[in-house]
C-alpha cells in the first residue's frame, strides 16, 4: 500500500523550485498561482536566499506550490492510486488538494492567508522552534513543560520539536532533557502549533467561510491525531485549528502502519518525512522527490505499491 506525504515548513532551501519550473507547463501554472495570491512564487523558489524564504508568509505558499507541482509531475492521482495521503503542518493543505477537498487555486489562496496570519502572530513575541533528537518522550515532554515550552511536533523516530519564546529555547539549549543527544534550532520564524498562533486561528476561521470543500476521494490522515477524516468540512476545520495545536506525525505513521503501508513517497521538497519513516517504519520503501530526476524511481515505486 502506497502513502503520499507532503512536508512542512523548514523543508525549503534556496533555489529548490528551479528544476521543477523546467517541466512542461510548470512555469505557466506557477505564474497563474502567483497572480492569484499576489506573490512571485517563481522568484522566491529560484533566486531568493535562505532568509527570504524563511519568512512564513513566503515559505508556506512556496511549499504547497512545490508539492503540487511534484505531485502533478508524478502523475494523475487516480492513476497513482495511493492508499492514503497526509501532510506535515502546512503540507496538510497540499494533501487536501491531492485528496480532492480543495482545488489548487483555493488552496494557494488559503495558504497565503495562513502564512500572513501566522507571520503576524509570530511578530508579537520573538519565538521559534528547536528539534530534539533522541530521548524518551515520557522524560522529554515534562522537561519541556517545566521550561514553559510546547511539544509542537511529536514526530516519532526519536524526534520532538519544542516551540516557545527565544528565552525559553535558550534555556533548553543549556538544559537538555535526559537522553536527548542534540538540540537543533529550526529555520522557522515563530512558535507554530502553539498558543502563540491563536490570532491566526481567528483569521483563518474567517477565510474559510466561503470555501466549498468536497469530501476526500482518497483516505486522508489528519496530523492532529493520526485519524482518517472522511468529511471535507472536517478537513477544513482541522486545517484551521491545526495552526495552534501540536502536529502528531508519530500517530500518522502509526496509522500508515495500521493501514498496511509498504511504500511512502514524499512530495517536493522531500527528505524530512522519508527520514522519519526510515527510522519509524522499518521495511517500508521510501522515496523523496527532491528534483525531477527522482520521478522515474518514484513512478517505479508507485507501479509496484499503488492500490
Convert the pLDDT of each residue in 238-254 to its tens digit: 999 999 999 999 999 99
Q: Are 188 and 164 in contact (CB under 8 A)?
A: no
Confidence of residue 158 (pLDDT cuts 50, 70, 90): confident
> Please, what is the Cα angle at 142 between 221 and 175, to 5 degrees?
115
Q: β-strands 127-134, 84-87: how paired?
A: unpaired
> What's the confidence (pLDDT) of residue 270?
96
pTM: 0.94
Burial profile 25-46: b = 16 or more Cβ within 10 angstroms, e = fewer: ebeebbeebbeebebbbbebbb
Which residues are the active-site residues?
89, 193
Q: What is the mean pLDDT of residues 138-153?
A: 94
Q: How far apart are CA 307 and CA 161, in angstroms?
A: 33
Q: What is the mean pLDDT of residues 248-274?
A: 97
Residue 81 C-beta-side C-alpha neighbours within 13 Å: 8
Full set of structural domains in the chain with CATH: 2-122+194-305 (3.40.366.10), 127-185 (3.30.70.250)
Q: What is the mean pLDDT of residues 286-303?
A: 97
Q: Are 56 and 117 in contact (CB under 8 A)?
A: no
> What's the confidence (pLDDT) of residue 230?
98
Nearest to 176 by CA among 134, 118, 217, 123: 134
Q: How far apart are CA 165 and CA 150, in angstroms?
A: 10
Q: How far apart are CA 85 and CA 99, in angstroms?
A: 7
SS3 108: helix
Q: What is the mean pLDDT of residues 101-124?
A: 95
Which tens digits make up the pLDDT trace of 33-82? 999 999 999 999 999 999 999 999 999 999 999 999 999 999 999 999 99
Confidence of residue 188 (pLDDT cuts 50, 70, 90): confident
> What's the confidence (pLDDT) of residue 307?
77
Average pLDDT, the chain: 95
Is it the case that residue 141 has pLDDT exceeding 90?
yes
Is it the case that residue 186 has pLDDT exceeding 90?
no
Q: β-strands 2-6, 263-266: how paired?
A: parallel
Strand runs labelled E in the chain: 2-6, 84-87, 127-134, 150-156, 159-165, 180-185, 263-266, 285-288
Amino acid at each position: 500500500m502506497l502513502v503520499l506525504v507532503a512536508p512542512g515548513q523548514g523543508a525549503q532551501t534556496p533555489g529548490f523550485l528551479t528544476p521543477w519550473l523546467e517541466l512542461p507547463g510548470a512555469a505557466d501554472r506557477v505564474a497563474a498561482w502567483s497572480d492569484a495570491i499576489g506573490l512571485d512564487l517563481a522568484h522566491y523558489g529560484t533566486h531568493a536566499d535562505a532568509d527570504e524564504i524563511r519568512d512564513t508568509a513566503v515559505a508556506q505558499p512556496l511549499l504547497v506550490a512545490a508539492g503540487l507541482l511534484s505531485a502533478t509531475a508524478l502523475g494523475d492521482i487516480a492513476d497513482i492510486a495511493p492508499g492514503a495521503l497526509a501532510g506535515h503542518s502546512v503540507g496538510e493543505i497540499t494533501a487536501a488538494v491531492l485528496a480532492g477537498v480543495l482545488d489548487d487555486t483555493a488552496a494557494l489562496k488559503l495558504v497565503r492567508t495562513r502564512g500572513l496570519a501566522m507571520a503576524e502572530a509570530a511578530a508579537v513575541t520573538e519565538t521559534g522552534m528547536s528539534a530534539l533528537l533522541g530521548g524518551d518522550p515520557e522524560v522529554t515532554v515534562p522537561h519541556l513543560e517545566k521550561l514553559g515550552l510546547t511539544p509542537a511536533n511529536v514526530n516519532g523516530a526519536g524526534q520532538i520539536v519544542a516551540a516557545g519564546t527565544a528565552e525559553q529555547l535558550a534555556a533548553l539549549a543549556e538544559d537538555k532533557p535526559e537522553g536527548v543527544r542534540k538540540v537543533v534550532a529550526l529555520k522557522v520564524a515563530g512558535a507554530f502549533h502553539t498558543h502563540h498562533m491563536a490570532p491566526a486561528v481567528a483569521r483563518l476561521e474567517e477565510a474559510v467561510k466561503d470555501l466549498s470543500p468536497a469530501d476526500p476521494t482518497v483516505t486522508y490522515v489528519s496530523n492532529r491525531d493520526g485519524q482518517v477524516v472522511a468529511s471535507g468540512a472536517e478537513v477544513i476545520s482541522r486545517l484551521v485549528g491545526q495552526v495552534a495545536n501540536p502536529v502528531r506525525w508519530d500517530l500518522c505513521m502509526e496509522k500508515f502502519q495500521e493501514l498496511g503501508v509498504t511504500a511512502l513517497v514524499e512530495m517536493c521538497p522531500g527528505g524530512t518525512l522519508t527520514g522519519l519513516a526510515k527510522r519509524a517504519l522499518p521495511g517500508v520503501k521510501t522515496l523523496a522527490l527532491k528534483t525531477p530526476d527522482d520521478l522515474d524511481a518514484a513512478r517505479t515505486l508507485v507501479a509496484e505499491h499503488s492500490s
